[in-house]
A and B are shown apart, each in its own frame.
Chain A
Amino acid sequence: MGDPAIRQRFEATVLVHLDAAFNLARWMLRDDAAAEDAVQDASLRALRFFDGVRGPSPKAWFMAVVRNACLDRLKEGRQRVLEDAYDDEVHGLASARVGGTTAETPEAALERGAEAHWLYACIRSLPIENREVVVLRELEELSYKEISAIVDVPIGTVMSRLSRGRDLLRQRLLAERSRQRS
């Protein structure tokens, strides 16, 4: 890739999606360091194959590369990821962005923090195949077609995994609420 035009195109079409890439990796691997490694690997892989990329959405293509890098990590280091994930229950939100404005009161900030933890715990405990589609749809706002390209399953499967994911999420949010009250 000595060609500056290709390099520039890579930066303009792939590296602009680094936030989306990291968000997906972080939710899949549930660990900051593992997500960083995966995204870095994926970026290099993407660079290597970039010349050949055609298609309607470079973002979907890059996200698919990131997802594969995450799956490789899950396969090779299942035990380690599980241990880290346990730790993640407590420290999980240190690197997250949780919205809000600087003008809010301390009470509102606290409440928002509690809500974020609550949602975080519920989403992170979803099975991975539901978790990834929920994240891609709700946080990245991708279309079913884009998600189907990233996850490499038919649109009907995206729909049923998303639907199941939302059902589970609803149940967990309800269960969590009654646990907190008791």
Chain B
Amino acid sequence: MTCARVRQMLDALVDRELDTATDRELEAHLIACPECARLRAERVALRERMRAGAPYFAAPARIRNAVGNAVAEADGARQRPVKRPTWIKTALVAASAAVASLVAGIWIGRPPLDDARRESAVASHVASLAPQRQLIEVASTDRHAVKPWFSGKVDFSPPVHDLASEGFALAGARLDHVGDRQAAAIVYRVRSHDINLFVWRAAAEGRREETTLSVVRGFGVATWAQDGLRFAAVSDLELQDLKRFAELVREAR
């Protein structure tokens, strides 16, 4: 790889946006080329400086209130929307899911029969983010603190992993439901996105199911089954990242 090409991709490297193969190729070049390595160090320093020192403008309380009021008002004034015929809705959902999968660059498997479960998992995810609810009942980044918290609360032992090195930080856990089933909800965080990992007991013991990705109401959902447990990871993360998360959880031991 030439220096010019490397420098073109230096930002993507610093931002960890490259695939593993290209990433390795660039790293190999940087070991051999002190000038490119210096440019990379400069980029990293600039970024760290920005993150540590650049001002962040959080929404002031008055705008939070103004928006809240405006939304409530618009809500009251608005008529209940005319219901479209269901087939159009279905077609729209299918079309937008197809577009979403194109954008995400990955294939979204055809959802099997348990649409209802997925829908319930998303409902629980949404409810857990509401301000009056507690997303986390036991807050800890230590899996040895989170896992035992479930004993005596649910009749199975949900796997809790430390995935911080992969960018998915453990934030904590709570008890929740998916539909009518009691579920353990383990919360991970990546950048500013929350991931709810719901775990509950599978009806059929020991059945293994591959990961299925889908988009429900705008949220990404990854579902699978292993070791007699069912899993549903829900987040507003990009599907590709959610897929990676699901793979990491599946493979972690």
Q: Which residues of A contact B (CB under 8 A)?
A: 1-3, 7-13, 15-16, 18-23, 26-27, 32, 35-36, 39-40, 43-44, 47-48, 51-59, 61, 93, 95-99, 112, 115-116, 119-120, 123, 134, 137-146, 149, 159, 162-163, 166, 169-170, 173
Contacts and interface: CB of A to CB of B under 8 A. Distances in A.
Contacts of B62: 36
Nearest to B69: A40
B248 interface: no
B236 to A, nearest CB: 5
Contacts of A57: 236-238
Nearest to B63: A36
B58 A22 contact: yes
Given A56-B100, A120-B54, A163-B10, 10 more contacts: A23-B58, A43-B67, A54-B97, A55-B218, A56-B103, A58-B219, A96-B55, A115-B53, A145-B103, A159-B12
A167 to B, nearest CB: 10
Contacts of A96: 55-57
B60 interface: yes
A160 B80 CA distance: 45
A36 B63 CA distance: 6
Interface of B: 8, 10-12, 15, 17, 42-43, 46-47, 49-60, 62-64, 66-68, 70-71, 74-75, 78-81, 92-93, 96-97, 99-100, 103-104, 126-127, 129-131, 191-193, 215, 217-220, 236-241
A172 to B, nearest CB: 11
Nearest to B216: A54
B214 to A, nearest CB: 11
A44 B10 CA distance: 39
Given A9-B126, A55-B215, A149 B81 contact: no
A23 B63 contact: no
A36 B60 contact: yes
Nearest to A145: B238
The prevalent SS among residues of B at the interface is helix
Contacts of A11: 71, 130-131
A139 B52 CA distance: 10
Nearest to B130: A12
Given A8-B126, A138-B47, A162 B11 contact: yes
Nearest to A7: B75
27 contacts: A2-B79, A8-B126, A10-B71, A12-B126, A12-B130, A16-B129, A18-B67, A20-B192, A36-B60, A43-B70, A47-B71, A54-B97, A55-B215, A61-B218, A95-B60, A112-B53, A115-B53, A119-B54, A137-B15, A138-B54, A139-B51, A143-B238, A145-B240, A159-B11, A162-B15, A166-B11, A166-B46
A53 B218 contact: yes
A93 B55 contact: yes
A30 B59 CA distance: 14
Contact of A44 (B74, B80, B220): B74
A98 B138 CA distance: 30
B81 A1 contact: yes
B100 A55 contact: yes
A39 B49 contact: no
A125 B239 CA distance: 35
A16 B43 CA distance: 31
A3 B79 CA distance: 10
Contacts of A26: 57
A56 B220 contact: yes
Given A143-B17, A144-B12, A97 B46 contact: no
B236 A58 contact: yes
Contacts of A3: 80
A21 B66 CA distance: 14
